[in-house]
Amino acid sequence: MKIVVGHLFPDYLNIYADRGNMAVLDRRAAWRGHELEVRPLGPGAEIRPGEHDLYYVGGGQDREQELIAPALAAMGDALREAVAGGAAALAVCGGYQLLGRFYRDQSGDELPGARLLPLHTVAGKQRMIGDVLLECELEPGKKRTLAGFENHAGRTHLDDGAEPLGRVLAGFGNDGASGHEGCRAGRVIGTYLHGPLLPRNPWLADWLLSQALAHRTGELPKLEPLPDELEAEAHAVSAARARSRGGRY
Amino acid sequence: MSRGSVPVVRLPLPLSAEILLARGTAGLSRVLGTGGGTTVPGKLLWKLDPGAVDRLAARLPHGSALVSATNGKTTTAAMVARILGPSRRLAHNHSGANLVSGVASALLAARDADLGLFEVDEAALPEVARRLRPRALSLGNLFRDQLDRYGELELLAERWRETARELPPEATLVVNGDDPQVGDLARERPGSTVFGLDDPRHASTELQHAADSKWCVRCGTPYAYSAAYIGHLGDYRCEACGHRRPPLDVLARAIELNGLESVSFELVTPEGTRRVDLAVPGLYNVYNALAAASLARALGSSVDSIQAGLQGFSAAFGRFERIAIGDRSLLVLLIKNPAGANEVVRTLVAGGAPRLLLVALNDEIADGRDVSWIWDVDFEPLLEGLDRLIAGGERAAELALRFKYAGLPADAIEVIPSLEEGLDRALALMSPGSELVALPTYTAMLGLRDLVGRRGFVKPYWEEAA
């Protein structure tokens, strides 16, 4: 089966090894006999809802985010329609911030967001930098951890009733205070975790692939398990780092 | 003042007493086996009296010259040291201790120096420049590196801009014109020296993945490159506002790359042109040589002495260093960020990619605690012909994943976090007379050097001449 990924602004938003996430999706699809086709969506690209099974938005530095925020916000209506039709999305760091309502920088200027996630972000003085570990429960009763690295000045505030991606076990998370990290709205996931995220957290890569395949075929597939010893070892080291030296106030 | 009350006066130690005290700790640090004493004395002096650094530097009759860049600081400074060696007695932090404390230690150690030559950490540069008031400053390049420590590239560039503005009026600024953000600093300072490459035969048509400053520094439009050499370094222009590479004063043309062994080029300066044969490989060393030549020129060196010095240069500490281990040899190439590692890979592949490779990834502060950068390195060209990877260091498993997802079969990868076990395993896999290529991050490089040092194959770094 072919899975079509819409990679939003890959030339601008790619700072924290986002291509590692793409490589993991690509290989793990291929090992199950599926083909991942990645279509770059840059400035001026048109989003036709239904065309893409999964969207990916990476992280960028402030300058890159400023350069593309208006173009990404302008795609908001089409992206929301695509997601309402069952497409999945993963947004990391700067991309996560830009999927909210707005990002307000330190001088008070606001960058518009694409409004896929019920949140907004306000820049703080102190950057939140360090290893981080979360506990997630994307499916009821199935608790799993995500290990990564965060580096952000923005404090992200979820709307009342919004679902965080996970509970912070070690590290700062969305704002260093709420104990929450990331945001999940149906098949859309936003997070500050890079490192990159997917190589050492392959269960999330498989969850995203499953959602993308469900969008394509209409039913949730059963992905066969893969030998993930190296992934588990990398996860364990990263998780231990977060526990021993994750950021805290 | 009433009887009995004693005014509290903090008696400043004379500079000479502080120096004696601080120097003593270098010996202590070595005796205790905690290191080379390359930063401890400086840290102590720093604690005793931060202004002492300024006064020590002010004593140097020929002043100080500084080198900063994301990539190439240590090599560039070592090249300058080689050029100036015959005519100057240098205070030089040659082992790469490049924060204020490392500079202070080098000042303390070189008792009769007449010129200071310091490589300086990118983030420490503003403070070091303020204290040392250099007569020449070379700024090489800015790439994404240790974002966990430095924050974003733009912030660093802005601090460099302020540093360039605050240089003493008589100081010479040397910049790499091929880096848009760095080259732009010359515009505000007439008389700056701009260096760069002029040999589009060695350019790639596409920007590498790790290119950072791709957008016009003035208007944000993507640059058009007529030649992209390394990352975002090249001959660029903005088609919207006209911002372009400044004219070059010192340049390299007719470059001949000779695999892993060497590179030669024509060095063009306002004072004349010379053919230079470098004993180290790769385009990135041509950039280092141009920075060194420009800085030495600013310090009064002739074209002939620049040529002689560059040709006499072999390798800097841990950067392309060959160490004989019995009947085998170890080639150590430091990797620390995507742009630098890409050039190491490109050079290795040009020399015939190795079949056995030891890559060691640590995540201490000096390496960068965030290891995500390995995913931005183009390791893929190494995969062809690679039979076995020894993944070492504290984050060995992460490194193994990088190669696994690049397409290296999992059974070709051995995860051995211990440097000693990894090195021994690699040596055991080698045939006599062959060479092991090791790509360590900074603290892993120190660890590897320490290991082969303890086995008697290399001198400890603090005993080496600059």
pLDDT band for position B82 (50/70/90)? very high
Q: Do B376 and A17 touch (CB under 8 A)?
A: yes
- Interchain CB contact of B394 with A (< 8 Å): yes
Cα dihedral sign, A68-A71-A77-A79: negative
How many CB atoms are closer than 10 A to CB B409?
9
H helix or E strand, kind and range, residue A54: strand A54-57
More confident residue, B94 or A27: A27
Chain B residues with CB under 8 Å of A130 CB are 148, 369
Chain B residues with CB under 8 Å of A22 CB are none
Range name among A64-68, B139-143, B397-401 with the lowest pLDDT average: A64-68
- Interchain CB contact of B154 with A (< 8 Å): yes
Residues 396-425 (B) with a CB less than 8 A from some CB of A: 397-398, 400-402, 404-407, 410, 413, 415
Angle at A165 between CA A148 and CA A90, to 5 degrees: 75
pLDDT band for position B249 (50/70/90)? very high
Range name among A24-28, B93-97, B199-203, B416-420 with the lowest pLDDT average: B93-97
Q: Do B398 and A234 touch (CB under 8 A)?
A: yes
Nearest to B372 among A27, A62, A195 (CB): A195
Q: Quote the pLDDT of residue B17.
A: 63
pLDDT digits (tens, 9 = 90+) for A167-182: 999 999 999 999 999 9
Q: Quote the pLDDT of residue A6.
A: 97
d(C-alpha A43, C-alpha A51), whole Å: 18
Residues 223-242 (A) with a CB less than 8 A from some CB of B: 227, 230-231, 233-234, 236-238, 241
Q: Quote the pLDDT of residue B150.
A: 62
More confident residue, B178 or B322: B178
pLDDT band for position A139 (50/70/90)? very high
Q: Is the pLDDT of residue B29 over 70?
A: no
Q: What is the pTM of this model?
A: 0.81
Q: Which of A23, A17, A8 is nearest to B376 (CA)?
A: A17
Task: Compute the nearest-CA separation of B416 from chain A (Å).
Answer: 12
Chain B residues with CB under 8 Å of A234 CB are 395, 397-398, 400-401
Q: Which of B283, B439, B317 is nearest to B367 (CA)?
A: B439
Q: Quote the pLDDT of residue B10.
A: 44
**Burial (0-12, 13-18, 19+ Cβ within 10 Å), B233:** buried
Q: Quote the pLDDT of residue A248.
A: 72
Q: Which of A237, A238, A241 is most worth mutating to test chain B (most B CB atoms within 10 A of its CB)?
A: A237
Task: Compute the nearest-CA separation of A178 from chain B (Å).
Answer: 23
Q: Quote the pLDDT of residue A105.
A: 87
Q: Is the pLDDT of residue B46 over 70?
A: no
pLDDT above 90: percentage of residues in chain B: 61
Task: Compute the nearest-CA separation of A23 from chain B (Å).
Answer: 6
How many CB atoms are closer than 10 A to CB B186?
22
d(C-alpha B441, C-alpha B359), whole Å: 8
More confident residue, B405 or A13: B405
pLDDT digits (tens, 9 = 90+) for B95-145: 778 888 889 989 988 888 999 999 999 999 999 999 999 999 999 999 877
Q: Give chain B's mean pLDDT.
A: 87
Q: Which residue of B has its CA nearest to A11?
A: B209
pLDDT band for position B155 (50/70/90)? confident
Angle at B227 between CA A44 and CA B237, to 5 degrees: 55
More confident residue, B41 or B54: B54
Q: Quote the pLDDT of residue B208.
A: 67
Residues 100-129 (A) with a CB less than 8 A from some CB of B: 127, 129
Q: For residue B100, how many C-alpha atoms fall within 13 Å in the half-sphere facing its CB?
A: 22
Q: Quote the pLDDT of residue A18.
A: 87
Q: Quote the pLDDT of residue B322.
A: 84
Q: Quote the pLDDT of residue A246.
A: 87
- Interchain CB contact of A49 with B (< 8 Å): no
d(C-alpha A141, C-alpha B412), whole Å: 38
Chain A residues with CB under 8 Å of B363 CB are 241
What's the rounded mean pLDDT across residues B182-193? 94
Instruction: Look at residue A73 and give its three-state secondary structure.
Output: helix
Q: Is the pLDDT of residue B6 over 50?
A: no
Helices A18-30 & A202-217 angle (0-180, nearest 10): 60
Task: Compute the nearest-CA separation of A161 from chain B (Å).
Answer: 32
Chain A residues with CB under 8 Å of B142 CB are none
What's the rounded mean pLDDT across residues B278-285? 92
Q: Quote the pLDDT of residue A104.
A: 94
Range name among A13-27, A157-171, A188-202, B239-253 with the lowest pLDDT average: A13-27
Task: Compute the nearest-CA separation of B76 from chain A (Å).
Answer: 27
Chain A residues with CB under 8 Å of B222 CB are 11
pLDDT band for position B350 (50/70/90)? confident
In the numeric block, which tokens belong to residue B194? 């701009």
Q: Do A127 and B151 touch (CB under 8 A)?
A: yes
Q: Which residue of B has its CA nearest to A132?
A: B370
User: Would you please indicate which residues of A are annotated as catalytic (active-site) residues?
Assistant: 93, 194
Q: Quote the pLDDT of residue B19.
A: 66
Which is it for strands A110-112 and A102-104: parallel, antiparallel or unpaired? antiparallel
Q: Quote the pLDDT of residue B143.
A: 87
- Interchain CB contact of A214 with B (< 8 Å): no
Q: Quote the pLDDT of residue B314.
A: 86
What's the rounded mean pLDDT across residues B232-259? 95
Nearest to A151 among B147, B374, B406 (CB): B147
- Interchain CB contact of A61 with B (< 8 Å): yes
Q: Is the pLDDT of residue B146 over 70?
A: no
Q: Which of B231, B354, B352, B269 is nearest to B83 (CA)?
A: B269
* Distance from chain centroid for Cα A134: 14
d(C-alpha B362, C-alpha B368), whole Å: 8
Chains A–B, number of C-beta pairs less than 8 Å apart:
92
Q: Is the pLDDT of residue A26 over 70?
A: yes
d(C-alpha B430, C-alpha A120), whole Å: 56
pLDDT band for position B22 (50/70/90)? low
Q: Quote the pLDDT of residue B77.
A: 96
CA-based R_g, chain B, Å: 23
Chain B residues with CB under 8 Å of A36 CB are none
Q: In what order do the strands lie in the sheet with B356-360?
A: B319-325, B328-333, B435-440, B356-360, B388-392, B413-416
What's the rounded mean pLDDT across residues B376-401? 95
